[in-house]
Structure 1
Amino acid sequence: MQSKGSEWRQWDLHFHTQSSYDYGDKSVTNQDIIDELKKNDISAFAITDHHVIDIERFRDLSKLGETEGITVLPGIEFLSDAKGQSPIHFIAVFSEKADIEYIWGQIQHRTAISKVRGEGKELNEVYCDLEDTIKLIKDDLGGIVTIHAGKKSNSLENMTNSLPHSVAQKMDTANLIDIFELGKESDQVDYRKHVFPALNKKIPMIICSDNHNIKKYTRKQKLWIKGAPTFEGLKYALNEPEGRFFIGEEPEVMKRVSDNRTKYIKSLNIRRTGKKDSSSIWFENLEIPLNNELVTVIGHKGSGKSALSDILAMCSDAEHSDDNLFLHKHKFKKKGLADRFSASIEFESGRKTDERELIHKVDESQEKLVRYLPQSYFEKVCNEIDKVDAFRTEIEKVVFQYVPPEKRMGNATFEELISLKKASAEKEIHHIHESILELNDEIIGLENKTDPNYKKSLLSKINIKEDELRAHNESKPDVIDDPSKNTESEDTKKKKADLQELETSKNKIEEELEVIRNEILDRNHLIVESEKLNRDLKNKYNELKSTISDGKPLSDKCGFDLSKAIRVDFDESIINSRVLSLQESNDNDSELLQVDDEWSVKDYESLSLASKLEALKEKIKGIHSKFTGEQKAYQESLKELSEWNQRRKDIEGNLDTVDSLIYLKSKLLYLNTRLKIDLDEKRELRITKSIEIFSKKSEIKSFYDEIKEEISRKLQVSDVSGLSIASSFYCSNDFRTSILRNIKQNRVGSFYGSEDGSALLQEELISQTDWNNSDSVSEFLHKIIEYLELDRRPGAKGSDITYIGDVTKDRRELYSNIYGLNFIEPYYDLQQKGKSLEQLSPGEKGALLLVFYLVLDKEDIPLVIDQPEDNLDNNSVAKVLVPYIKEAKKFRQIIMVTHNPNLAVVADSEQVIKVSIDKENGNVFSFISGGIENSVINEQIVEVLEGTIPAFTLRKDKYQIV
């Protein structure tokens, strides 16, 4: 049996033949009836003559109908006294396989129709008791009952409402009815709005021809019923009053299929194309037909269920096909069998895919023809959601489906649209990050000064300088009294006066040279800073010019003058000329510091300052050489004292003399009094900058909110099981690893030990942070430094600050990642009743994921799902999932491998394919297929599906287990 299962067909359940007393043209033949119904595409009809079942005519019409594929159901129309305005008409319909002689005999003897023979009454003079007759038809004779309803003549509405007990009687009668036969299509609205809520159940509604003359066959509207064109199919359909009955020109799903024939798979074809082996027969020229709505593939464990889904995915270049259960590299492919068989699929359009060997590897560059969700995909998402970033991409794709074309601005993907919207914000983030990088260098420089070894080195240098100064003080030369202060000669006086004058000039020049050196140093700083400023301004200017140039086409389209919105000018010659002037000053001053060649033979006034100094030193030396005796010794002692004082001055130094005693002590004073304040201020400034980045990223997140507006409206209207999509910040999956990569976990501290350190980072810092809250992010940025400098392990007593350089590797990389907030990105979070996907149980996750694909995904290509229930509990299946499967199959073909009765049965699968593999006879793969209403398929469902008997028992009216 290889049927596509339940399909939409046209029915007529109220049809009269020549046997009705009021038939319009008794000359018509039974063949005329069949021919006309065939012309109107009727697949099944019920003979409903007034108060009579013409057995011979029924059999003849059945025989004629069989040749044309038309099923004829025996039936009868009754009249009942409504105790109101006019009689109520109701109809009994029976199985085409029923014992019609017995049924007619029971009706003739157990209803008021017996009066036709017994009392000689006419057929239209007989009124059967409504409730008693209905009970006879349903309870004793196995039939179903339809009743005129709505604005159709002789309907249930004619029953009086004048007394309270009459209203109750009316409701009781309605509860006995299987089908309401309406007079016009619009009657459905009132019944759905008023009658069904009162009955607390839905009842199928139909419109029929009520034809009394085949030559004038017309219908107010077509009646479509989904199911086998049999009484069995009709009875099954009663349990799905909304899903299997349709009044109108064409069911929406049929129109959808006809308009999208390339999106519905008609059949899967598998055949042998390689070596034949009696021990491995497997697939032998199989053509598996597929229904256009819900197809469920069932079978025992190892029966080849997943083979069908895997092969479909392989033929369709579907995603996730590497996760196959059957066509796995370690299973069917490894056995050297896959290359012996080929497969292809045919769509309703007639298009066939290229035949492929089962060893074929999916080409990811090709457009996928189906969406495939294998078992392993659900397991990954449900059990390792923190590692499956790909699912977030899936959410983005679905959200993008809801963005109206006019809001997509010509972008073909979500990534393109969001990139367009966030471009400006990301540029600002880049600039802020650059300033953070500069701060990081300053902070690292300050942190390096907190290194205890740095202070030890400084103290060591100070001790050495103090020892040097102490030793120098102890070596102070003795000053000799001037031997000639009372009796010095005129010549000596002149020499001393000349010497004093020369020393004064020398000291003055030395001071001038020191001033010049400091001025050159200051100007060099100004030159470097000016050149940097010039580069920065030039870059900004060029960037702004580029932005203006890029915006020109837009301004032209919008009709505004961009030159009036912004005016930009940059004259770098202003800065360059000043830099040039500073450089010229330095060049001029540098000449003063240079000692001239052959200065000794040149005119003194023409010499540079440095040369003049040398000349003065030479003259002083010459005068010293002219002193003799005690006077010479005295002058030498003065020179020694002067040199000693200069050396003492050099040792003591000043705040600008590197490694001098005053310089070193000022550094030590800074360490003790100011370093922590400056470091804290810089760190706070860095966090302020980080929060500026967070603010810019929040602007980007607002773009995510804007893009999801349409899908949010869909969720609000649908109220899909508490499902919502929120835009949130998330901490990237590799953030923890990137931090730990730059932390020395073999050093005692918060992150000591790779496993313990990783757990503490995750549990106490990352998991405790609300990445959507700036205060919480700020607290994290504070704490990460605290945890690096202090031991925050449980039970740790250490309160001393650890030098951060001892526990980190590359602080520049570490700080850039952390304080640049590179790890925080906006994304869409799938939530149920406010709980994030990560917070749900595996079963809740599985149900939510399926609802996501079934309800929100607007893709119209077939959806192939392999055993999703493995990650679900039965309650989730029945209460959450089933309603959405039934809704989704209206819009796309669903092919699902399952062993769960709630999915196969309660979801009202249109086609069930039962597969099996005969492992004792060459692993022959075989299948049967059909609708659930088919008794053979019914038996297979009971035999295969786990827990099915309770499921069938609970809904015994829906299933006929043979």
Structure 2
Amino acid sequence: MSIVKETCGSVWRRWDLHLHSPGTKLSDAYGGEVDENGNTDDETWDAYLKALEDSEVQVFGITDYFCFDSYFETIKRYKKKFPEGQKVFFPNIEFRLTDNISSSGKHVHTHVIFDHDPAVCNERKFSEFLTALTTHISQGDVDVKCSNLSGKQYEAATISMRDLKKALKDTFGNENLYLIVTAANNDGLRMADTQSSRSLSISDELDKASHAFFGSGINTNYFLQTTRYEDDAEALPKPVFSGSDAHSFDDLKRLTGDERNFPPTWVKADTTFRGLLQTLYEPKARVYIGDTPSVLVQQSREATRFISKLEISPIAGYSGANGVWFENVSIEFNPELTAVIGNKGSGKSAIADIIALLGDSRQESNFSFLANSRGNKKFRTKGYAENFLGKLTWKNGTEQERALDLSIDPTSPERVKYLPQNYFETLTNEIEVNDFRREIEDVVFSHVEDSDRMGKSSFADLEDFKTTQAKQDISSLKVKIRELNIEIVELEKKAAPSFKKSIEKQLKAKEDERHALEQSKPKEVPKPAEETEEQREINTELTVAGDVLSGIVLKGRAAANQLSSLKVNRQKLVDLKESVSSLSSSLTVRRAEIVSLCNELQLDADNIFKYNIDTSSIDKKISDVSQEIGALVKDNNLTIDEKTDFQKISSIPDLHAAHKFVETKIKALKETLSAPHRKYQTYVQSVKEISAKLQELKGDPASPQLGTINYFKAQLSEIENVLTQKIKDKVAERETLSKGIFEAKTKVRSFYEGLKKRVETRLADINTDEFTVTIDASFVPTGGFEETFFHFVNQAVVGEFRGTEAGRKKLQSIMADVNWNDADSILVFINEVIETLKKHPFEAQVKNIKELYDFLFSFEFFDAKYELRLGGKNLNQLSPGEKGLLLLVFYLHLDKEKTPLIIDQPEDNLDNDSIFSVLATCIREAKKSRQVILVTHNPNLAVGADAEQILFVKLEKHKNYKFLYESGAIENPKTNGHIVKVLEGSRPAFVQRRLKYHIR
């Protein structure tokens, strides 16, 4: 028997810490022959061990009552039968406590699970322990020890929790060698008599004495609560494990996880006792009771978004003249959080850069190890990078290989999101925060519903689409030309061969994604033979319900597509009406000019100039479309039951309610099925779900959604068939309108206000007294206002703005009281600027007065902004550390993108309290939905965020630059040693600091 060691750290595995073996002291129902010494025959044992070996469960707790006989017999026989077996066994001794807390008179059962290392927990120590532990049974004046129990005494014996803890401490001393796990249900704490204060008090004391509990998923949330005690004392969150409690071969069917009332337990940890102990520190994140942890489901269905392995090797024939560097490096990555640690210059950033290179990150210009700029080449100096190949393998098996001296492929989709240290520092030190703001906006865009994106793929594109009319009103010719030129440039980009190549590669990536999803289809489960009429009826109901559910899903998808189309059409109608109204206003002005001239020339203007504009048909169309949208989004609060006609349901909220009802019905029906039928129905449902996702990935051929396979095919078709004519049409289109600049800008601001609402709730989840992020959609001066203003003003002549520094201070003092959200306040400011200039010769100070007036009165010097504030300060006022923290929070907590997130040493300039309280929390959330690889030298990130994998790297420069690495879980002793040494400055230093802080 050996221990399974994972180089990719803590991973989810099936554990069953409560099952009995043949010969168990009570309720042994395994059958078989028993000899005169009470030993079960070999055939029965072989069948038992084979069932364990064949199961998906990796770790077992072998349980017996008041003794360890079963454990040692199981270990001995397993090693003999499966000498290369990988299963792990912990000794689990089950006790009946003297405590009685239920009204039925049942005694509470508790277990002690011990470290399976024979060096610390062995037969001698267990014998000492059982000898030290007395039961309530007495013979004469002597209390019977657990070691002396025999026969029916096993059925009658009880012990006290106090005696148990004392015997454990006296025998083992170190509490890290055992766990007290008490039953929650049946003979457990949750069966306490709620009408009895005494029972509740005893129950709480037993809870406090226990490290964990045996129960089911319904108990998990209760034991995670910190307010569960009657005396209001703060409780520790504790893990709950579901065990099979098998006493027979029939019970061993529970190991499949398909048996009713015996859901499987998954533990994310090394298969060691230290791994089990880790669940005490992270009970919510490390233990899951149910079918499959969501990360494993996601990893299977989105296999193209998880990095499986990184390999780096020298090219054939490389002599090592310029260093050994990467010699046969092969690093497997955890699907959740990997923390890359090491001393300075150890190659941490090398790992991040190489992954980013192979994942076609657009941050190549900010690489540090693979830097390739003039005067900063480092490893890309000739003779180094070209001698090594990197290969990235994804979970679906696809590979990306590239020499380390090559650049990314800009036509390929970006498969990883990379925040290199250089880029991070550039953004956070940026004075005008324009690039920083764009990064934030990309994250905000991820929260815009697909139906509201209007077919746009970026924040900037959606912004242009939603505010086009407002921008047209701001500058009659300028905005229209700008808009058309943007469209023309976009179309010409599409006409370029590189764009077509990019679309083809994105289509290839989607086809790979489709293939990966198809590969995730479960192995076919044949439909089991019908058992009973009741089973047949249930199966029929499930089939009907499944068809109904599929119909609801299809109808929901169609409704969502229709809603998106209607919203686009309504926006176009609104824009059309505004264009027509603006045209009407312009025509009215122009007609007045014509009438004046006609009167002067004695002409009848009505015979020359006639027009009629009627927007009533547009208004009716807007009303009709709005009604259709309203019908689709209206929640009719329908009562969904068996009599509901699902064919008549049409609104999206009602479809959601119907979906939930049918889904619940299917789940309830499945619970009534036998295990084979339930397994078959689970297979059928899984196939349907994957088929639906495949259809969603392909998209509607007639009207494909953005990012689907048919969308990219449509793009290619457009490029090949209609693009040339589109370009001609757009080049020919030129017209502009302008009126009400401030009112038009207000419409732009309303766009930002709509986005604000989308992320405020998510931000509220992480706001604290010390860290508060708010959003303000308002008008702010443009970054280049002062520079543009002084382009018109000669600061070398006498005037209030004379002198570079003095002039700027004067302008800033006038600006200080401006309310940029009030047109009158802005006009007061403009007039004050002009009056200030006029205190001295005007023409001498202003280089071009008309251009200055055009600049000031066109309101071009302020714009609507989506302004973030941290602690009341806007982005321009934040320190580099504060900006860095804000950016990380957005990517970790708000970004909905699912590609792997690679972050290189983000903690610089951040205080430790912020790192632990904010970043660690955000990382914990981020790793639930995407793979995170974090290069760090801060323990608050690696340990505080409970990294599933620690990758320790070092570069031995004295050995010809040889790169070495080790990988494991936090709970792995060797890995733990690296963490303490690298992140804490060695164990003695850590202990010394702990003592100085008076932390015991």
Distance 1:158 1:403, change over 3 A: closer
How far apart are the structure 1 equivalents of 2:825 and 2:604?
36
CA–CA separation in structure 2 for the residues paired with 1:120 and 1:532: 125
Secondary structure of the corresponding residue to residue 871 of structure 1: coil
Q: Encode CA deviations 1:879-909: one digit per residue, 9 max, x unaligned.
A: 1111111111101110000000100111100
Q: Structure 1 CA distance, aligned partners of 2:67 and 2:595?
A: 118
How far apart, CA to CA, are the structure 1 residues paired with 2:738 and 2:990?
Answer: 62
Instruction: Using the TM superposition, give the Cα deviation of residue 48 of structure 1 relative to its aligned residue in structure 2, in angstroms.
Output: 1.4
Contact 2:443 2:895 survives alignment (8 Å): yes
Match of 1:825 in 2: 863
How far is 1:90 from its partner?
0.9
1:3 corresponds, among 1, 7, 22, to: 7
Matched letter for residue 95 of structure 2: F
The CA distance in 2 between the partners of 1:215 and 1:532, in whole Å, is 106
* Residue in 1 that maps onto 2:94: 77
In the TM superposition, what are the counterparts of 1:422-571 in structure 2 within 5 Å?
A: 422-431=467-476, 526=597, 558=625
1:59 and 2:104 equivalent?
no
Per-residue deviation at 1:737? 1.6
Q: In the aligned structure 2, how far is the partner of 1:541 from the partner of 1:853?
A: 54
What secondary structure does 2:213 align onto? Answer: strand
How many angstroms does 1:834 deviate by? Answer: 3.9
1:394 maps onto 2:439 in alignment? yes
TM superposition shift of 1:174: 1.1
2:113 equivalent to 1:93:
yes
CA displacement at 1:176 relative to structure 2: 1.9
| Alpha-carbon distance, 1:806 to partner | 0.8
Deviation at 1:362, TM superposition (A): 3.1
Cα distance, 1:704–1:374 mapped onto 2, change above 3 Å: same
Tell me the equivalent position of 1:379: 425
Task: Confirm whether residue 757 of structure 1 aligns to residue 807 of structure 2.
Answer: yes
The DSSP-based 3-state class of the residue aligned with 2:13 is: strand
User: Which residue is 2:789 aligned to?
Assistant: 739
Q: Is the 8 A contact 1:328 1:334 kept in 2?
A: no
- Cα gap change, 1:904 to 1:116, in 2 (>3 Å): closer
Deviation at 1:6, TM superposition (A): 0.3
* Secondary structure at the counterpart of residue 917 of structure 1: strand
Q: Secondary structure at the match of 2:908?
A: helix
Distance 1:178 1:105 in 2: 23
What TM-score do you get using the length of structure 1 for normalisation?
0.69
Matching of residues 74-223 of structure 1 within 5 Å: 74-84=91-101, 85-98=105-118, 99-112=121-134, 115=145, 118=148, 122-137=153-168, 140=173, 142=175, 143-150=177-184, 152-158=185-191, 164=197, 167-182=200-215, 184-192=216-224, 195=228, 199-217=234-252, 218=254, 220-223=262-265
CA contact (8 A) 1:690 1:820 kept: no
Q: C-alpha separation between the residues in 2 aligned to 1:532 and 1:768?
A: 53
Distance 2:355 2:907 in 1: 20
Deviation at 1:836, TM superposition (A): 2.2
Are 2:363 and 1:348 aligned? no
- Aligned in 2, Cα 1:553/1:269: closer, same or farther, shift over 3 Å? farther
> Residue in 1 aligned with 2:307?
265
Of 810, 831, 837, which residue of structure 2 is paired with 1:788?
837
- The one-letter amino acid of 1:428's match is D
* Unmatched segments (≥5 aa) in structure 1: 435-522, 561-688, 790-800, 957-962
Cα distance in structure 1, aligned partners of 2:363 and 2:776: 26
Q: How far is the alpha carbon of 1:285 from its aligned partner?
A: 2.2
Q: 1:534 to 1:912 in 2, by over 3 A?
A: farther
Query: Deviations 1:208-231 (Å, cap 9, x if unpaired)?
Result: 101112343115101000011111
Equivalent position SS for 2:109? strand
Where does residue 614 of structure 1 map in the other structure?
Answer: none
Aligned-partner Cα distance in 1 for 2:110–2:601:
100
Is the aligned partner of 1:21 residue 2:25?
yes
| Contact kept in structure 1, 2:950 and 2:967, CA below 8 Å | yes
- Give how far 1:294 is off: 0.5
Following superposition, the deviation at residue 399 of structure 1 comes to 2.2
Q: Counterparts in 2 of 1:564-583, with a 5 A limit?
A: none
Amino acid at match of 1:76: I
The structure-2 alpha-carbon separation of the partners of 1:300 and 1:261, relative to structure 1 and needing over 3 Å to count, comes to same
Are 1:292 and 2:309 matched, yes or no? Answer: no
Displacement, 1:235?
0.9
Partner Cα distance (2:223, 2:74) in 1:
33
| CA contact 1:103–1:141 (8 Å) conserved in 2 | no
Contact 1:297 1:913 in 2 (8 A): yes
Using the alignment, how far apart are the partners of 1:954 and 1:203 within structure 2?
A: 30
Letter in 1 for 2:281: N
State the percentage of identical aligned residues.
33
Partner of 1:48: 63
Aligned CA RMSD, in angstroms, stands at: 3.7
- 1:771 maps to 820
Contact 1:111–1:129 (8 Å) recurs in 2: no
Shift of 1:288: 1.0
CA shift for structure 1 position 148 = 3.8
Please tell me whether the aligned partners of residues 690 and 819 of structure 1 are also in contact (alpha carbons under 8 angstroms): no
Normalising by structure 2, we get a TM-score of 0.66
Whichever residue aligns with residue 60 of structure 1, its letter is K
How far did 1:118 drift?
4.5
Q: Structure 1: how far apart are the matches of 2:820 and 2:359?
A: 40
Distance (Å, rounded) in 1 between the aligned partners of 2:53 and 2:828: 78
TM-superposed deviation, 1:712: 2.8
Partner SS, residue 380 of structure 2: coil
* In structure 1, distance between residues paired with 2:61 and 2:622: 71
1:155 Cα deviation from its structure 2 partner: 0.5
Q: Please list, as runs of the form range in 1=range in 2, the aligned pairs for 1:828-907 lying within 5 A after superposition.
A: 828-907=866-945
User: What does residue 729 of structure 1 align with?
Assistant: 779
Aligned residue for 2:864, secondary structure, equals strand
- Structure 2 distance, partners of 1:726, 1:38, is 60
Q: Secondary structure at the match of 2:796?
A: coil
Distance 1:889 1:394 in 2: 20
- 1:68-88 Cα offsets, whole Å, 9 max, x none, are 321111221111111342121
Name the residue aligned to 1:32. Answer: 47
Is the contact between residue 222 and residue 249 of structure 1 (CA under 8 Å) also seen in structure 2?
Answer: yes
Q: How big is the shift at 1:171? A: 2.1
Q: Does 1:320 align with 2:363?
A: yes
**What is the alpha-carbon distance in structure 2 between the residues aligned to residue 559 and residue 2 of structure 1?**
57
Letter in 2 for 1:397: D
Distance 1:954 1:350, change over 3 A: farther
Residues matched between the structures, number: 720
After TM superposition, give the deviation of residue 398 of structure 1 in Å.
Answer: 2.2
**3-state SS of 2:283 partner:** coil
**Map of 1:703 onto structure 2:** 751
Q: Which amino acid aligns with 1:757?
A: G
Taking the aligned partners of 2:993 and 2:11, their CA distance within structure 1 comes to 22
Which residue among 320, 323, 343 is the counterpart of 1:277?
320
Give the Å deviation of 1:541: 7.0
Q: Aligned partners of 1:768 and 1:288: how far apart in 2?
A: 59
- Number of the residue aligned with 2:484: none
Q: Which moved more, 1:912-921 or 1:413-422?
A: 413-422
